[in-house]
Structure 1
Amino acid sequence: MTSVLREGKETRKITHTNDECVGCGICSDICPTSALNLGPILPIARGILEMDYINMNHDKCVLCGLCSFACPFDAIDFEINGENAKKIENYPKWNCGTEITKDDCIYCGKCEIYCPRDAIAMKRNLPNVEDLVMGETRTEVDKCINCRICVEMCPAEAITIKTESEKTTKKFTAKDIEIDKSKCMYCKICQKVCPEDAIKIICTSCMDIEQIPEVTIDGALVLDEEICVNCGWCEKICPTEAAHTKKPFEGEVILNENEEEDLICKGDSCHACQDVCPCNAITIVDNKSFVNQEVCVLCGACAKACPQKILNVNRTVMNLDNIKSASWQKILGSIID
């Protein structure tokens, strides 16, 4: 984390948070005083270098705040007299974001697994097995010969045999047969494999399926908006359409190769674009970079990292509203020009 602070009639402060930064370089591209410099994003993304993506030159920065509003990932904070300037009415505001509707969520957990930024955390509440699977168990430890076949064969690992050692023969004999009803499925495998009929199982839920109560699955799901980049993976894989995403940009990433100038994708031998992509939107297919446009946020980190400079980010729409200053309109407009 780096910051610049100026005190006077107004106290202004700009803070860059590297954990939320994706290394796109949009802020450095539009900075009117060249106070922001993009670091070597590839070795940083690969963990070779421990440093921030953005370096802030305190002497050049005039604390205009333009970088903060241009950042679609909220990695740069701008404060005026201790207040977050993004909440001030006259400043630009991004019209993008991700929302997961709780009423439509079935807590399958796919969004948590697929999220490339680990921005989704889910806690799932499941019913107790013993409330859904019912039955009776009877054991006769006197018949048990401690062969432990039932323990090995139980698919639910619900059986435990406690033993004791005889003082004279030093043999281990069964002292008790315990069946954990929170795990037991009353499948009767243990009864069938026991050579001495020491276990009897009755499955009452199998005999009357109507006895099984209705199953309710609920839980809690938290979306960390600070690290979410609105890539849309959650929306893409959600089976109930509970997730909805509006991206910061519209457009596409284009691979422009030129074989005559030896400007071709190196694929498996390079994969720089894949390593820096914050959205897991790039894969290597047939030794070429393939961009999944559905989950790409058009940040441009891939184009910055590409050593061949053959990835072009074509942004056609920028969902940044309320740009009232003509000079800011011109500078911010350069992001999509």
Structure 2
Amino acid sequence: MSIEKPQVNVEIVNSTLTYTSKYTMLTKNIKFSMDRCVGCGLCSIVCPVEAITLGPIRDIAAKKLEAPQIIIDETKCIVCPVGASVCIFNALKFNTEETFKTPRISGSISIDSSKCKPCLICEKTCPRRALKVEIEIPRKEDLVKYDGEIWASGEIRIDIDKCIYCGLCEILCNAFKIEWIDKPTPPEFKIANGIFIDEDKCDYCELCREICPTEAISVKCFKSALRTIAKPKVKGEVKIDVNSCIWCGLCMDKCPQKAIETKKPFTGEIRIVKPEKCDPSGCKNCFNICPLNLFYTARIPSESRIKVADEYCVYCGACVNACPYEVLKVNRFGFNIEENKPWGKSYSEMYMKLIGKYKPKIIEYPIRKLAVPIRKIIPQEIGKAVQPLVEFREIKERIDKLEELISSRTVRILIERGEIKRLSSLGKLHQSNKS
């Protein structure tokens, strides 16, 4: 029985490499996006044929070199979905003509719409820009209508201790201006430096006070021209970019309504094991490569000159690969996997490599004859294909037939699920088709 070994072709478009293999009946490919890859190396750990190796991560993190974070050897690659199934950054994507899904390691995020009061906090907090809040608030000009001349006098104050920088007042009225921080940094992850009011533009209508969720704004109107003021209605929706979110949990902690729930793809810990070797003034590799910007310089250096906001770490290990002095260590204790899909158990065993508990199975073939006849534990139709025969030629013919049968994806799934009865009926159907 000949086995087809197709050649893997590589195509490069911008920063995406596509590895494609074509069988007689199937075409499949893997797309590798350098823009999304962070150099964690999880794919290289689980690759069944060792076709993936890490690139020059330390030089890439030090911004000395622009190069692929991983290298895929197309002469070894079998274009399987294993590497893509552990990529939490969606830098590797497996595609095939068949419509089936394989297990994968992933986290989860959900938003309780009954608790969510639309604001910009989660959007501004997210280090991956995976959340987008679409807020509908009428502009003040559409809510406040004057009969003639526009004028008002009064006073307005903001209690900075109460303000959470939700952004609603700025959307409502152009008298407000918030100084947003583009990339919030640890340990506080502040999203803004301050909020300012241009009182020349304020007419003390008090609408901002009504929509403020923390009562941080106080307004007093002394006098005004004749006007009518409509009540503002705030509507909104949070949209999640599933290709960018890596379930760090920062949005969950910062949400004032506790409307967000997240679950990380891994459980684990990150430790600074050799603090004496760390020199953040000369090396910023961990700062540069961390996909969540979790590293920061210690304000009062004690044992270590760097710190990490480990409560939001997803334990990818990119910082460990980038550190030239082996200062950091990541230990993964467990993973979140969709086990209800075909091959879930097999994938789960393979993922044990990521937490250092992988032990390859050693299959021992018995030399002595089994006490129980084979035909009693294997369906009759399949049993016929493996019954001991005297003639070698007949043995080879029946083995070839069995290989052809189990090459079917459906048969493999039934074997894993232990559905022997369905397997038996499938064997009969296969036999009748052959005859």
Q: Give yes or no for TM over 0.5.
A: yes
Q: For residue 355 of structure 2, give the secondary structure of its aligned residue in structure 1.
A: coil
Q: CA deviation at 1:302?
A: 0.8
Partner of 1:273: 286
Partner amino acid, structure 2, of 1:299: C
Structure 1 residues 98 and 22, CA gap change in structure 2 (3 angstroms): farther
How many residues are aligned here?
Answer: 271
Tell whether 2:224 aligns with 1:202. Answer: yes
1:293-312 pair list within 5 angstroms: 293-312=310-329
Partner of 2:179: none
Counterpart selection for 1:30 from 26, 37, 46: 46
Deviations 1:84-106 (A, max 9, x none): 6xx43xx3233522233444333
Kept after mapping to 2: 8 A contact 1:247/1:297 = yes
After superposition, the C-alpha distances for 1:60-102 in whole angstroms (9 at most, x for unaligned) are: 112232111122333212223x246xx43xx323352223344
Q: Is the 8 A contact 1:3 1:56 kept in 2?
A: no
Question: In structure 2, what is the equivalent of residue 2 of structure 1?
Answer: 17
* Unpaired stretches in structure 2, ≥5 consecutive residues: 1-15, 151-173, 177-200, 206-222, 357-435
Tell whether the 8 Å contact from 1:135 to 1:202 is kept in structure 2 after alignment. Answer: no
For residue 215 of structure 1, report the CA deviation from its aligned partner.
2.4
RMSD of equivalent CA atoms? 3.0
After superposition, residues 246-325 of structure 1 pair within 5 angstroms as: 246-257=263-274, 264-285=277-298, 286=300, 288-322=305-339, 324=343
Distance 1:296 1:258, change over 3 A: closer
How far the C-alpha of 1:333 sits from its partner, in A, is 0.3
Deviations 1:105-156 (A, max 9, x none): 33321222121112222332222213555556549xxxxxxxxxxxxxxx95
Q: Residues 220 and 332 of structure 1: is their aligned pair in 2 closer, same or farther, counting only changes over 3 Å?
A: same
Superposed counterparts of 1:83-162, under 5 Å = 83=98, 87-88=100-101, 91-133=102-144, 135=146, 138=149
CA spacing shift, 1:12–1:271, aligned 2, 3 Å: same
From 36, 55, 65, give the equivalent of 1:20: 36
Rounded to whole Å, the distance in 2 between the matches of 1:267 and 1:310 is 11
Letter in 1 for 2:21: R
3-state DSSP of counterpart to 1:244: strand
Indicate the residue corresponding to 1:223 in structure 2.
Answer: 240
Identity over aligned pairs, percent: 34
| Equivalent residue for 1:76, pick from 63, 80, 92 | 92
**C-alpha displacement at 1:326, in angstroms?**
6.7
Secondary structure of the 1:6 match is strand
Structure 1 residues 265 and 242: alpha-carbon distance in aligned structure 2, compared to 1, 3 A threshold: same
Which residue is 1:335 aligned to? 354
Distance verdict in 2 for CA 1:156–1:12, change over 3 Å? closer
- Native 8 Å contact 1:131 1:212 kept in 2: no
Q: Relative to structure 1, is the Cα distance of residues 332 and 252 closer, same or farther in structure 2, using a 3 angstrom cutoff?
A: same
Return the TM-score normalized by structure 1: 0.70
The separation in 1 between residues aligned to 2:50 and 2:336, in whole angstroms, is 24
Residue 93 of structure 2 corresponds to residue 67 of structure 1? no
Matches within 5 A, 1:49-60: 49-60=65-76
Distance in 2, matches of 1:239 and 1:100, equals 13
Moved more, 315-324 or 112-121: 315-324
Alignment partners' CA distance in 2, 1:225 and 1:305: 26
- Residue 224 of structure 1 and its aligned partner are, at CA, apart by 1.0
Residues 319, 326 of structure 1: CA spacing in aligned structure 2 closer, same or farther, 3 A cutoff? closer
**Which residue is 2:27 aligned to?**
11
Cα displacement (A) at 1:296? 0.7
Match of 1:41 among 47, 50, 57: 57
1:158-209 deviations in Å (ceiling 9; x for gaps): xxxxxxxxxxxxxxxxxxxxxxxxx56169xxxxxxxxxxxxx73457xxxx
Asked if the contact 1:20–1:226 (Cα under 8 Å) also holds between the matched residues in 2, the reply is: no
Query: Relative to 1, partners in 2 of residues 1:129 and 1:316: Cα closer, same or farther, differing over 3 Å?
Result: same
Amino acid at match of 1:300: G
Higher RCO structure, 1 or 2 (CA under 8 Å, sep 6+): 1
Q: Determine if contact 1:277/1:302 at 8 Å carries over to the other structure.
A: yes
Matches of 1:284 and 1:258, distance apart in 2:
12
